[in-house]
Amino acid sequence: MLLTPKWTSMVIYVLSFGPLRTGQLQRSMPGISKKMLTQTLRELEADQLLSRKVHQVVPPAVEYSLTELGQKFVEPLLALYDWAEANFVLLDKVERNRAASGQAEIVEDESEALPLS
């Protein structure tokens, strides 16, 4: 899948603001390792969501930018982020929710037969 890897959606999001060089990308995503950054970028490139431009200079300068397809992905991605933000899910609300109750509802049935199909 496209969203299961840890960093893919974040790369798309960060690049949605404009093209970035490798180092800038890494600094935009605290915690990502160089290995995972490269790997994620290669996969997204293979999926044609971003393009990679190599400037033949020393030291090397590589610029990443979203393709048309990648830009089309930004909107549904933001829809997801908006939902998360609106419901504090990526923040700490869920943690607090987890802490609180959360028991399964027990339904006392009269019959011993299966009530559902």
Partner DNA sequence: CAGCATCCCATAAGATACTG
Partner DNA sequence: CAGTATCTTATGGGATGCTG
DSSP 72-86: HHHHHHHHHHHHHHH
> Is 60 a binder of DNA (CB under 7 A)?
yes
Q: What angle do CA 23, 29, 30 make, to 5 degrees?
A: 100
**Chosen residue from 18, 30, 31, 115 binding its own copies by CB under 8 A:** 115
Rounded to 10°, the helix 34-46/8-15 angle is 80
The binder of 101, among its own copies, DNA, none, by C-beta within 5 to 8 A per type, is none
**Chosen residue from 39, 85, 87, 91 binding its own copies by CB under 8 A:** 87
Binding site for DNA (CB under 7 A): 4-7, 21-24, 31-36, 38, 41-42, 52, 54, 59-62
